[in-house]
Chains A and B, each alone.
Chain A
Amino acid sequence: MTITAPPEFEQVVARYEPVIGLETHVELGTNTKMFCGCPTEFGAEPNTQVCPVCLGLPGSLPVANKAAIEATIRIGLALNCSIASWCRFARKNYFYPDMPKDYQISQYDEPLCVDGYLDVEVEGQTVRVGIERVHLEEDTGKTLHLGGATGRIHGATESLVDYNRAGIPLVEIVTKPVAGTGALAPEVARAYVTELRDIIRSLGVSDVRMEQGSLRCDVNTSLNRPGDDWGTRTETKNVNSLRSVERAVRSEMLRQASVLDAGGTITQETRHFQEDTGDTRSGRSKEEATDYRYFPDPDLVPLAPDPAWVEELKAAMPEPPRVHRERLREQWGISELDMQSVINAGAVELIEATVAAGASPDAARKWWLGELARRANETGAELAEVGATPAHVAELQRLVDEGKLTDKLARTVLEGVVAGEGSPAEVVAARGLEVVSDTGALTAAVDEAIAANPDVAQKVRDGKVAAAGALVGAVMKATRGQADAKTVRELILSRLGAV
C-alpha cells in the first residue's frame, strides 16, 4: 500500500458519499436514580450517593423511576416517535468493574419510543434525520485508571471506581443512517446534536451539558462510491463538544477516503476522537463482538404506559425550539440571516434571557455576538460559560442607557465581569469607572483646558469649531476617559460662546 497525502475534503466528497449515524446518551436530570432513591447531583464526593440497589449488593432489587419514564416518553414525543404501549427492560450482560451488577439494565428489542425524526437546518436546507429508537437505561459508575501512560485500564497499576453515577437514568437516542448529505455531512451531524440538545433543554428533562457528560455522542461514519452499497462503518467515541461532532465526522471521512484511495479496506471498529489533533485513533476492534446475552430483566415488570397518559404528555409539550426561534426572530425584528448567526453562536437563549432581563434585543445581540463572542472564541469556552450572565449584560446596558457608562467604559466593565469581579455595578464601584457627570468638576476641567491652550481657544471663538477636538482630548485625558466626550464638547463650545 502506497502512502498518499491526505485528500482534500472537496475531493473526498466528489468521489465518495458519506453515511452517518449518531448515538446520543442523555443523562436525565431526575432527582433520584433510575432504580433507587439515591440523589443524582453532579460532583459529590465519590461513593457518597449510593445504596444497596445502585451498588448491586446481593439481594437488592430495582424499582423503575416514573419520572424518568415520563421524561423519556416526552423526548420520544418531541422527536415524533411512536410510544410503545408495552415494552420491557432487558439485561445487557458483560463484566466491567464500573457496573455494580456486571449487567446493565437497558432496553433491547422492545424500546420505549421508536421510529421518529428530527428536522435540522443546514445552510438553508432542511435535512430530515430519522430516529430509530429512544430507550431508557441506567448509567454505569466512573473508573479512574492510575499508573499507566494512557489512562486506560491496560497498563494501569490501580483503578478507582466511583459509583455515584451508577444508576443515573440515561436515555439513548439512535438515529437511522443518514445518507445523501454529501459535503454537508459534518455540519448535519453537528446541527442534529445541537437541535437535539435544544429540544431536550426545552423539555427541561436534562441540563444536556456535553462538558459534564450529561450529553454524550458517538458518531458512526462510512463512505461508499456513488452507486455502491454503503461502506463499512466506524464508531467514533470521545466526542465531547458540538464542534468535535463536526470535526470527528470530517476527519473520519478524510481518513477513510485516504484508506480507500490506497486500495485498503475499512475495519469495523471503535475509534477515539482526539481533541488536540482533531483526528481519530483506533480503539478496540469489533471483530470479536461481545455477546451481551440480552434477556428481559425478570426483576422488573413490563412497562405499559397508559395511552391516555401519553396523550396528556403530548398535549402539554412545550413549543419546539424551531418554532420558538422563529417567534423570537419576529419579536427581535431581525433577518433570517442574522438569526442564523445568533443560532450558530449558540446565543439564542442567552439573548432571550438578556431581553427578558430588560435589555433591548439589539443591545443584547450586540454584546453577545460582539464582545462576548470574541472573548469566548479567544478562550475556547462555550458562550454560556464565558463568565457573564444575561442579567449582567442587561445591567451593563442599563448603565449605558442611563448615561453612567460610555460604550468604551462599558467594555472595560465587562472585562471585569468576565474576570469574575462581580456584577457591572460592583465592577464600576470597585474600579471607579463611572462617567464624570458632575458638571461642576467637568466645567473646572474645561476651564483648565481653555486656560492651558489659549491659541486653540481663540480659534474656536473665531468660529473654527473643529479645533475644539484638541480641547476635548485634553479634558478626556484629565478625567482619565471617564467623561462623556459629547458632553465635554458641548460644554467647551458653550464656554467659548461658539454655540
Chain B
Amino acid sequence: MNNVIVYCELDEGKIADVSFELLTKGRSLANQLNCQLEALLLGNNLKGFEKEIFPYGVDTLYLADDNRLSPYSTLPHTSVMVNLFKEEKPQIALMGATTIGRDLGPRVSSALKSGLTADCTELEIGDHEDKKLNKVYKSLLYQIRPAFGGNIIATIINPDCRPQMATVREGVMKKEITDANYKGKIVNLDVSKYVDETAFIVKVIERHIEQSKIDIKNSPVVVSGGFGVGSAANFKLLFNLAALLGGEVGASRAAVDAGYVEHERQIGQTGVTVRPKLYIACGISGQIQHLAGMLESSIIISINSDPNAPINKIANYVIVGKVENVIPKMIRYYKENTK
C-alpha cells in the first residue's frame, strides 16, 4: 500500500535501461518516503528476470506472465496496471518516456483520473503549501521537466490524486544497484483476472525491429558535431577521431536535420542523453536543447570558430578555431604519442 512502483519495460526480450534507471531513482524516493519499492513486469516467459530486478532494492515484483502480453499492446497492459493500482494504491508510479511508456502512461492516468507528467528529467520529494486553501502537503513528488520547447523548466506537482505518475527520459538518471543480494518477493498475477478478453482487439500483424549498432549512451568518449561541421564529408574527421579514442560520434539536431548523420546520433532534449568522460563538441553552438543531453559530461571540449558561442560557457576547454583545422592536429598528436 502507498508504495513506489516502477513499470519495467521489455525491449526485445531485455529489460530497458530506463527501467533500471527508474528503479534506482525509485529506491531513493522510497527511502525518503519510508515506503517500499515495487516493480511490475508484463510479458511472456518472465522467469529469471527477478535476478536482474531485485538487486536494485525491489521489495515486491509483480509478474504478469502470459504470451498474449508480448509484444506490448496498449489495452492489455493498461488493464493490468489499472487493476493492480486500484488494489495496491501506490503513491508514485514511474515509467520510461519511451514509445511504450508514452503510449501506456496517459491511458492509465486517464482511467484512474490521476495526473501524469511527461518527460521528466528530475524527480524530488518536497512539500507544498497551498496559500489559497491554507493547506500544507507533505512529501509530494516534484516532477521536473523542460517545457516550452526546452526554454524553461517547470516543476509539476500532483497534490490530491494518487498515484503521482511520471514518465522519465532515458539516460537522464543514473543506474546503480543497491545490493547484489537484495531479497524481495515475487507476486504472480493471475492475468485472466486483470485483463478482459476484449482488450485484445488491436492485433500486431508485423514487426521489424532493427538492432541498434550505435551505442552512444555507454561510450566513454563522444565526439559530437553540429551544423558548423558543414557537411557529411567533414563528419568523417569526427568518425576518425572517435575511432582513435575509442568513442562514438554524436550530433546536434541541426546536423541531423541537415542530413550529415543519422537521427540515432542526436544528442539533447529530443535525442539521447549522454554523460561520457569526455565530450568534444565540434561546431555546436550550444542551445539549451542540446546542452540538456550532454551537460553532465565530465570534461567538455568545445571547438568553435566563434569565441562567443554559448557552449563555451560550459566547456572546460575552448578551442577557438575551425573544426577542419583542429581535428587533424588532434589526430596527429594522438597517433604520434600513443602506442
Q: Do A and B come from one complex?
A: no
Q: Which residues of B line the A interface, CB within 8 A? A: none
